Amino acid sequence: MAKTANPFIVAGRIAPEYFCDRVAESARLVKVVTNGNNLVIISPRRMGKTGLIQFCYDKPEIEKEYYTFFIDILHTSSLREFTYLLGKEIYETLIPRSRKMARLFMQAMKSISGKFGFDPASGLPTFNLELGDIERPEYTLDEIFRYLDNADRRCIVAIDEFQQIAKYPEQNIEALLRTYIQRQANCNFIFAGSERHMMQEMFSSAARPFYNSADMMELKAIPKEIYVAFVTGHFKKCQRRIEPGDVEKVYDLFKGHTYYIQKAFNEAFADTPAGSECTTDTLQRAIEAMVVSNDTIFREILSNVPEKQKALLYAIAREGEAERITSADFIRRHSLTSASSVQSAMKKLLEKDMITETGKVFSVTDKLFGMWINGIYGNPARL
């Protein structure tokens, strides 16, 4: 008997029938880029930016008419790495779609042309480039953008965690990229980012190169009632049961963060045989398993956080949503040192994206990390 596919997908591309909502957001994204404009998407991590972009890339009006590229630059630390990732993504995307355009890409990359070869078994060209082979990244990047401008289809390039370019050591990176992007006639861009303040500053400040260069869209949590209907509906289709109230508990626990909600129901669905009910206990075990599986990673993260920053992080985690964190009451309640030390720690934690500020309310950016912190201090998350 064939195993029932788990409808709560947490990795890879998501088929339309398993994609929850985002009807308005996907319609807007498609409309913006197919009308020749650029788009900024701002949302917390784990809220579904990547899934939304890939979902829209698979829509017929984009898939059939455009070359689409996606890079996540969160882990990059220089223009060289950015250039390497972009070149690799373009080349590897084009190989299965258009050998002609892949060959033209090789020809256009004069600064690194010696690093292309051919696989004798398949006859396909190979991308043998190493990071260190890019000696002049600004020159190679110029070649990449010129190539995109001459492609035989319009192109869409999505750059996730775009705020990372502001942290590169090279001078005037924003101005350099803006110059290349501004002259593109054949390519549109999606700039996605999770650090709200940095992204808003980059695109809304008249003093910054990317000022007013793209439409803005904020990706918020999927409404609770839509998520409840989505989850209960899929359990029912697969001959399983789940109470709407239990779905709401999971949604509230993760504050609507798409990835962790999906992951919780992915785990719980796998532990619920056909014909039976997914109970609160099943969901609780799934969430505990998620926390435990990240224990090593979270301990490593904490080991690199200075003591005063750690103390503030713990305080915010315990409160869930913390207000007036420099007030005497907050400092006394959590045995912190002083308002000035809290202010300093807050700035560092925001820079590291370990905490998020929305309307003067602070919370731990990674909700599962916040639960883990509370768990090690005797207050595990309960539904």
Distance of CA 260 to the CA centre of its chain: 13
Region of residue 325 (left: phi > 0; alpha: psi -120 to 50; beta: else): alpha
Closest by Cα among 83, 230, 86 to 168: 83
Asked if 40 and 205 count as a contact pair (C-beta separation under 8 A), the reply is no
Tell me: the pLDDT tens digits for 18-77? 999 999 999 999 999 999 999 999 998 889 999 999 999 999 999 999 999 999 999 999
Model's pTM, two decimal places?
Answer: 0.89
Tell me: the pLDDT tens digits for 367-383? 999 999 999 887 888 88
Cα–Cα distance measured from residue 171 to residue 220, given in angstroms and rounded to the nearest whole number: 33
How many residues can be counted in the chain? Answer: 383
How are the residues of the chain apportioned to helix, strand and coil, as percentages rounded to the nearest 5? 55, 15, 35
Cα–Cα distance measured from residue 198 to residue 74, given in angstroms and rounded to the nearest whole number: 14
Count Cβ atoms below 10 Å from residue 45 Cβ, excluding itself. 19
**Element holding 321 (H helix, E strand):** none
The residue with tokens 């051919």 is 118
Residue 252 has pLDDT above 90, yes or no: yes
